[in-house]
Amino acid sequence: MMRSSSFAIILSGLITFASGCANGSAVPPAGGFNGSISAGSEVQKTRVRIQQFADLPYGSGNLTPTAVASGPGGLVWVTEEGNGDAPESAVVGIATSGTRQRTYYYSGPNGQGAGFYDLVEGPDGALWITDTFNLQIVRMSPQGTFTGFVLKNSDAPLNICNGPDKALWFTVDSDPPDIGRITTSGSMKLFSFSGSENAFANDIAVGSDGALWFTQPNANLIGRITPSGNVTEYSKGITAGAEPYSIAPGSDGALWFTELRGGRIGRITTAGKVTEYSNGIAPTEQLYDLAAGPDGAMWFTEFETYGTFQIRASKIGRITMHGKISQYGRGVTPDAGPIGIAAGSDGRMWFEEWWISQMGRVTL
């Protein structure tokens, strides 16, 4: 995720970018996969096919995909952030065939641009999007009408997810950390808590215990906040300097999270017990987003960086509830830079490729 007031990607040993609940993976999205997975179960998959689709509006290289989620109309929805040469950001609806169906552009409340970062389909059937540039939460109707709700603390919202209380919950790039809650009518509340220096909250997801769980990369912590605002932080079992990044609930009732450094996937129970898994993952690989798949396993994005602004070894990973890891690179352009990943309404996993501005699809 972005840090502080820096909304640029840093590619020199460490990249920070959108993931998380992006993908809407706090809970299975309203338009997500059908069927049910019993807790702790998973279907073993040995044949995986990956395809890429070059149908995002590239805007002469000025639009960058930032997050993906299943949403209205059974489409896969993607946010794209514009840079200084393309001040409009975009929300794009992709059919499960891989073809772009809808594109809605937004230039912010003052026409000076927007910084779309993460999105999720809310309980009202609209898309809810964080806008880091204008420091607001944006609601987009299925017809493409945008409504903004500005944060009162002048900090940027980062990741957003559906909460257990029919509201949306989001993290804020603030120090000390803030967790936000917004209802579908736009009523907003921020919960502040003391933490380590620069211990901002990054990704957020709802757990099987009805609380919200979030990552704190700089502080090397996993946090938990109840709907009433009580916060607990956990560090035991997390490797020093691992930087927990994205988090999502698994079919086993625990929360699973990626670690930016060291090539590991973590699992934390609702009691706070942490287990880390790394078998088969190179320590140089950076793991970003993850989401629960229709097979009961967690799917995640990963790639390596080298030199200055160089990417290689882009892959999609899978980890079962028992910690068995598989990685898939065939079908993924080596320098694609996959970031966000989400389950689509077609029972397949969808991911966006930041570096080459394409979409990818994983058929299980």
230: burial class by Cβ within 10 Å (0-12, 13-18, 19+)? Answer: exposed
pLDDT at position 16: 40
The residue with tokens 């920070």 is: 16
> Looking at the 3D structure of the chain, how many domains does it have?
1
pTM: 0.89
**How distant, in Å, are the alpha carbons of 118, 139, 180 from that of 190?**
18, 18, 4
Q: Is 195 inside any structural domain?
A: yes
Q: What local confidence, expressed as pLDDT, does residue 59 receive?
A: 54
Report, in angstroms and rounded to the nearest whole number, the Rg of the chain calculated over CA atoms.
18
Residue 233 pLDDT: 95
Is residue 1 a part of any domain in this protein? no
Whether omega for the bond prior to residue 157 falls within 30 degrees of 0, making it cis, is no
- Identify the CATH number of the domain in which residue 127 sits: 2.130.10.10
Q: Tell me how far apart the alpha carbons of residues 305 and 43 are, in angstroms, rounded to a whole number.
A: 32
Whether 186 is covered by a domain: the verdict is yes
Q: Quick one: pLDDT at residue 326?
A: 97
DSSP-derived letter for residue 239 is P
Give the 3-state secondary structure of residue 60.
helix
241 falls within a domain: yes
Residue in 310, 351, 317, 352 with CA at minimum distance from that of residue 334: 310
Domain that holds residue 62: 22-35+43-363
Among the residues of the chain, which ranges form H helices? none
Within a domain: 83: yes
Residue 357 is assigned to a structural domain of this protein: yes
Residues in the chain: 364
- Give a yes or no: residue 15 inside a domain: no
- Structure-block tokens of residue 133: 């540039």
Query: Residues near 185 by Cβ (< 8 Å), separated by ≥ 6?
Result: none
With respect to residue 327, please indicate whether it lies within any of the assigned structural domains: yes
The per-residue pLDDT string of the chain (364 residues; one tens digit each, 9 = 90 and over) reads 333 333 333 333 333 444 445 444 333 333 333 334 444 445 555 589 999 999 888 654 578 899 999 999 999 999 998 765 557 899 999 999 999 999 999 999 988 889 999 999 999 999 999 999 999 999 999 999 999 999 988 899 999 999 999 999 999 999 888 999 999 999 999 999 876 667 899 999 999 999 999 999 999 999 999 999 999 999 999 999 999 999 999 999 999 999 999 999 999 999 999 999 999 999 999 999 999 999 999 999 999 988 777 899 999 999 999 999 999 999 999 999 999 999 999 999 999 999 999 999 999 9
